[in-house]
Structures are given as structure tokens and as C-alpha cells.
Amino acid sequence: MKILLTGATGYIGKRLLPVLVEAGHEVVCCVRDKSRFNPSEAIKQQIQIIQIDLLERESLNKIPNDIDGVYYLVHSMSKSMDYEKLELECAINLRSALNQTNVNHVIYLSGIVNESELSNHLASRKNVELELNKGNYNFTSLRAGIIIGSGSASFEIIRDIAEKLPIMVAPKWLNTKCQPIGISDVISFLSRSIFNSKTFNNNFDIGGPDILSYKNMLLEYSRIRGLKRTIIIVPVMTPRLSSYWLYFVTSTSYKLAVALVNSMKVEVICRDSTINNILEINPQSYKQAIANAFRKIQSNHVVSSWKDAYSSSGNSDYITDSINVPTFGCFIDQRKQVFRSKKECIEKIWSIGGETGWYYGDWLWKLRGNLDKLAGGVGLRRGRTNRNSLQAGEALDFWRVLYANSNEGRLLLYAEMKLPGEAWLEFKIVDDTLIQTATFRPLGLMGRLYWYSVLIFHGILFKGMLNKLTK
């Protein structure tokens, strides 16, 4: 069968794609920017890629007429303050486009929306669901709560809080109950639902066997990890303070923190487990989901991460908009040094950031990250998805990977920290030499003052880093 996969570069889409290919489906991947999509060589020849923007109706004409099924995996709750309007517009545009095709079945991954009062995020999911359900095709909505898996936003937030805070003074929404589900089970529900007539024109709640409060989830995580943690719930923490608390403690963006706090005040518990019997799935426990997540992390096999989404930075631009590094009106710090071993040099470059650090003056990098966090930026806490591999589109601390080709020996990063201008950092191997180039395009007088204020640190950091990379 021919399947259209929207959100192919997202956390869920990246994991669902190889499962669909393995099942023998012909998959058409929808992406906003082809530069951000780097499927494995094993499946690259078995898929089709089309570049569309759901907010631009004309681009949807690229959708093939002969598709049989569609997965709608698009969410943008942290991308814009008016994401509800944008999400609804995307759904309307896609529904209209699909009505012109031969599609038989559309599946939407929604949120559990059983409460009478919903957060803006959950209300948006419900409205999208209602809109997609108006199409001339069979429709299925799978409603999930908290998804636990390596790289998922929920798991990484739980991990950040539990690992960093031995004593937590936390907001009262930690007492809210939810029904977490492992990422592998989510993929199973999605893959087994397609073209199953028993799922047509219905919605189903999907969740694991455990109903836990967020507090219990944190304590259980801590117990599994062998950490002794104390949580003190205080009723005086306002939604704004709660959002700031989540933002500064974890790697999440402030916009995402606001959306999550509002959602975490709403219980997300399944109505029933009807879908489990239909699809013959026995979901794993919360404990099992945590254990599976750490197995992936320890083996360095994290397939996808929420941090790689552009919504983690609030940047809505295409990668290709920044990939051509400007020179006019820019300040440039370029350094060259002959390396001892090309292989070792490339390995070091491709392992930079995250747990590895930046090879020289890490405390200064951390200071810059903390200052960025205080200014409302992404900081250093996003880390990286894998320890020794990089792909275009991935987050790398407070940078975004624009271009990564180890065979060519070129890595190009774009700064996503708060700056009075734009910044790029490039590593490029030419013959037996590593060329390291920092480019800054200032915005007004403040941009120029910023460049001169950090110039002395550049001299220390970039020189030291270059020496370490070429040894």
C-alpha cells in the first residue's frame, strides 16, 4: 500500500518510517525542508520525499493521487503563541487536499481529551481531530498521553528533574494523574491500525497499564536509577512560576514549558482499553518503558529526539535559509591548523558538544549557556541526540546542525542562542589542514558591541579548541 507520512522528520515519524517500510508499504514522506531529512541508506531507495508546507495550499498539489493511507503526525505547540490557529489551518488544508485523492484511511495521533476542561494544547488536538474527521475517507484518532522513550520530551523532562534535583520544591500539578505509554507501544498502535477496518471512523485512547501522578513518575524514575529524591509540593506556585521552574530546570524551551504546564493540570487517563484487544497489543509498564529508554541511550541508538524539532528553538526558518554563510557586513574569525590524523580529527569534530563538551574552556561554554538560558534562550541543556553522529537539522547544545558530511570533512553550525545578530561556526578539512571559521553578522550597534566584547574569549576558546581537535 502507498502511505503518506506527514511529520516524517519528527520524533514519532522517524521511528514509524522504518516500520512501515519493513511492512512492505511504499512510503511518501512529507517534509517542510528536504535538507533536514536524512533517512538511513537502508531505506532511502524505498521511499519518496516531497517538500510541502501545510500552511501553503499550493504546495499540497504535490501529494500523489494514488495514496491509500495517511499518517498525520504534525504538532507545533511550542512554535508560535497562536499555534492553535496554525494547527487548525494545517488540518483544514490537508483535509481539502486529501479529498482530491483516492485515500482510504487517515490516522491522527492526538492527545487524551476526556476532561470537560482542556488546556489550549489538548483543545487544539481535539479541534484538529474534529476537522480531519470531516474528510471523504475513513478516519482513526489514536489518543495518547505521556509518551516515554529515549529522546521524548516527557522522558527527557522527567530525566532532567530527577537527575538534577535531590530536593524538589514543585508545583501542585505534580499531583495530577496520567497514564504513560512507551514509545514502542505507540509505534505498534500506529502501524497495526492502518487499513484495519475495526479502527475505521472511531477514536481510541492508548496508554500503558499504570495510572500515576507526575510526582509518582518522578519518584519511580529515581528509584529505578538508584537516586534518593524528596519532593515537596507547594500550592503557591502560579502557572507562570511553574513554567519558569520547568524552563530553568529542564532543557525545554519556555514556550513548550508554558504549554506543558497548562496541559499537566489536566488528567490524561484512558477511558478503556478497547483498542488493545482489537490490535492484540499488551502495553508495557512505566518501569519497562524507562528501562527500554535507557538501553537505547546506553547503546547510543536514540533514533529521534524532540530537541531536533525546530519548535525546540522557536526557529521557523528553513535550514536552507541559513546554509549559505554570508561574508558581507560580517565579522569573521578564521583559524587554520595542520592535523596529525584526518580520521581522528573528524571523529573529534563529529563528537563535539553534549557530554563530550567543546574540548577547551568548557566552563566558559557552560557560562555562555547559562546566560543564554537566563535571557530566554535554549542554553546548553539540549545536548545532542547521538554521541558520535550528526545530521542536518539536529540540535547540538545551543547550535543547529545545518550541514554535516564526514566524508567531505565539513560541519556547519548555526547559533540558536539569544544574540544581537546571527552566528555560524564551521569546521572544514582541506588537504591536511582543519579550517575553523566563526562568522557573526551583527544587528545594529549592539551587535558590534557584542562581537568586540567576546573577542578576547574567542581568542582563548577557539584557539584552544583548534589545538585539541588537531592533536
Q: For CATH 3.40.50.720, list the domain ranges present in the chain.
A: 2-307
Q: Output the nine-digit C-alpha cell for 430.
A: 582541506
Inter-CA distances, 245 with 146, 168, 253, 316, Å: 20, 11, 11, 25
CA separation for the pair 65, 370 (Å, rounded):
50
Question: Residue 242 corresponds to which amino acid?
Answer: S
Length of the chain: 471
Query: According to the model, what pLDDT value does residue 299 have?
Result: 63
Q: Which helix H or strand E contains 336, and what residues bound it?
A: strand 331-338
The per-residue pLDDT for range 413-451, each reduced to its tens digit, is 999 888 999 899 999 999 999 999 999 989 888 999 999
Residue 302, pLDDT score = 64
Specify the pLDDT at position 71. 97
Average pLDDT over residues 257-286: 88
Whole-angstrom Cα distance, residue 192 to residue 277? 12
- Which fold does the domain 322-470 belong to in CATH? Alpha-D-Glucose-1,6-Bisphosphate; Chain A, domain 4 (3.30.530)
CATH of segment(s) 2-307: 3.40.50.720
User: Cα(150)–Cα(306) distance, rounded to whole angstroms?
Assistant: 10
* Positions of CATH 3.30.530.20 in the chain: 322-470
Contact in structure between 187 and 19 (CB atoms under 8 Å): yes
pLDDT tens track for 33-50 = 887 787 877 788 889 999
Structure confidence by residue, pLDDT tens digits, 155-167: 888 888 888 888 8
Residue type, 103: V
Q: What is the predicted pLDDT for the residue at 118?
A: 84
Contacts of 294 (CB under 8 A, 6+ apart): 150
